[in-house]
Amino acid sequence: MESLIITILVVFIVIVSSFSYWQNRRLKNEAIEQAKETQRRMYELAIQKELGERIGYSFDVQKIIDIITGSLSQFIEYSAVSYMLVEPENIVFKVHLEKSVSRKFVNDIRDRMLKSLAALLDRQFKIKQVKETLSGAILVEEPEEPVSSFFNIPLVIGEKVVGVLTVAHILAGLYKEEEMTILYKITKQASNAVTSLQKVVETEQKKLNAMVESMSEGVVMTDKDYRIVVVNPAAKRAVGLDTNKEDLTIFDFIDNLDSKFDIKGRLEESVKLDKNLISEEVLIGDRFFQIYVSPVKSSLGMEENEILGGVIIFHDITHEKELEKMRQDFTSMMVHELRSPLDGIKKMSELIKGKKLTKSDEKYAEYTSLVYNDSSRMLELVKSLLDVAKLESGKIEIIKKPSSLKELINDRVKFYSSSAKDAKVILETQLAKDLPEQINFDPTKISQVLNNLISNSLKFTNMGGKITVQAFLHKKGEEIDKEVTKAQIKWQVKNYDQKLLNLPTVVIVGVTDNGLGISLENIKELFNKFKQFHDSKSKIENRGTGLGLVIAKGIVEAHNGIIGVASSEGEGSTFYFTLNV
């Protein structure tokens, strides 16, 4: 009985202890597993972080794989980690040795990798295409241990195999499912990152291409050997090359630029000395350009600030030059217009002073009236300049009050009747019967507009001509042609300006003459401050400054009206404006 009890006890103890042994062992294994798992996760995280950080700067597959291989040893054991990347001509083969191995070992890896690559890509590679780089431990002659464990992972970017990654060991049976899974995961991650980045880059590239294509500035980009990489239509146009012409070389540009701009020399200077160059203005054909030449440097991957080539930008400054010319013309015209009468006054007074003229002298009246005319002219001009300045600074004050447009027009026509008589020009009115008695406007300012338009017409209408001041009510949605017929107004405006369509209900005032008319080209510039339009054929002896129309436009627009002109050369013109009712 005793022995039975002892036996049972022993058995129990054995069972318990073996249970706890196995239990312990199991726990210990679990702990090891857990630690391994943690390590693995940490590693993955670290790789992910590093990849994330570096990929930001690097689009270089090699660099990314270098990052992976560089930290792989923390987790997987290997004698050598290596990768092969297929390039157009060569195969990059990089081997990093953790342990010293023999030449034979490396060659063995190389051959195996080449074989996998050939199988994956279904093409043959030659050993001499392989550009090998070794790093890490040194090669030894002895012992010549063979590759006993070997594991290959294809490197895939954008669904295309670009290479293989391999770990190899002198010991056998090392690479099991676990290691393989991790390697797969990591390479997959890297591949995804590069693939998505490549998509971004592609999209950006497309956007950039579209932008460059549509740019108004001419862009030519070359590589380091001055081969054209990018050229947009504007650049071809700039130098007078057919925009459909493809496969341009720098020589096309050299030929077409002739000696106007040393494109190659400047490019070389810019690329070699890493300098941004800006040319003086260059006249190519009938346009002026400023040409910028800059080196193109890499900012992605590769060596920092490596110069990849050059870019030439043709910036068309013709318009700026025209504007500048207009401004200069305007200034010199103003100076001339101010100085001439002033000089006249000075010279007249010099003459009068020397002569000691008195009122009874026959020349007295002539001389004083000349002085009077010149000073009036100057005063008018100064007034106009002030008006323009006020208009431009928005300081013009419009004081609207209910006024009779009919009265105002009649008054102005009366005022100009004597000038018209002198010029042997008929000046009359055509006013519609249904014109509102009173509308809201600034009578002083609108009177100024009429003055400017009537005196302008007088200048451009020859002897025997006719000027008609017209006014009628236009109702929203109605056709102007019908309205004028009904109102018995001879309306010459045929080709309607967009401005005269879709008008609200307004009064339209027109000053129509059968004078010289204005060419279409000049019409565009008519209300431009800086554009004085000369016509040597016209009878004008008093060149205007053109400011009258600029002022008229400002006043009408301050009334929220529109102003315009319709004209046909040789037949006459109609200057019109609207007043809201």
Partner 1 sequence: MNKSIKVLIVEDELSILTAISGKIQEIGWQSLEAKNGEEGLKLYIAEKPDVILLDIIMPVMDGIAMLKELKKLKSKTPVLIFSNLSDQSKVAEALELGSFNYMIKADNSLDDIVAQIKVMLHK
Given the rule CB under 8 A, which residues bind partner 1? 331-332, 335-336, 339-348, 350-351, 354-355, 363, 366-367, 370-371, 373-374, 536, 540-541, 543
Strand runs (DSSP E) across 55-114, as ranges? 80-86, 91-97
Q: From residue 403, give the alpha-carbon distance in Å to each of 63, 439, 451, 474.
A: 82, 6, 17, 18
The smaller minimum CB distance to partner 1, of residues 182 and 352, is found at 352
Structure tokens at 525: 């510039």
Cβ 555 to partner 1 shortest distance, Å: 28
Cβ 524 to partner 1 shortest distance, Å: 23
The smaller minimum CB distance to partner 1, of residues 358 and 536, is found at 536
DSSP 57: T
Cβ 330 to partner 1 shortest distance, Å: 11
The smaller minimum CB distance to partner 1, of residues 201 and 540, is found at 540
The smaller minimum CB distance to partner 1, of residues 281 and 407, is found at 281
Which residues on neighbouring strands pair with residue 473, listed in sequence order?
A: 507
Q: From residue 432, give the alpha-carbon distance in Å to each of 16, 408, 417, 489, 557.
A: 123, 14, 21, 7, 23
The smaller minimum CB distance to partner 1, of residues 307 and 352, is found at 352
DSSP 127: G
- Write the single-letter amino acid at 25: R
Cβ 336 to partner 1 shortest distance, Å: 6
The smaller minimum CB distance to partner 1, of residues 108 and 374, is found at 374
Cβ 578 to partner 1 shortest distance, Å: 34
The smaller minimum CB distance to partner 1, of residues 227 and 347, is found at 347
> Pairing mode, if any, of strands 218-223 and 160-169?
unpaired
The CB density around residue 257, as the number of other CB atoms within 10 Å, is 18
- Distance from C-alpha of 459 to C-alpha of 469, rounded to nearest angstrom: 15
20 alpha-carbon distance from chain centroid: 77
The smaller minimum CB distance to partner 1, of residues 300 and 351, is found at 351
- 366, burial (CB in 10 Å: exposed 0-12, middle 13-18, buried 19+): exposed
Cβ 360 to partner 1 shortest distance, Å: 17
Judged by DSSP in three states, 520 sits in: helix
Backbone angles phi, psi at 136, to 5 degrees: 85, -140
Backbone angles phi, psi at 546, to 5 degrees: 80, 0
- Write the single-letter amino acid at 73: S
CB 567 within 8 A of CB 523: yes
Cβ 376 to partner 1 shortest distance, Å: 12
Cβ 377 to partner 1 shortest distance, Å: 10
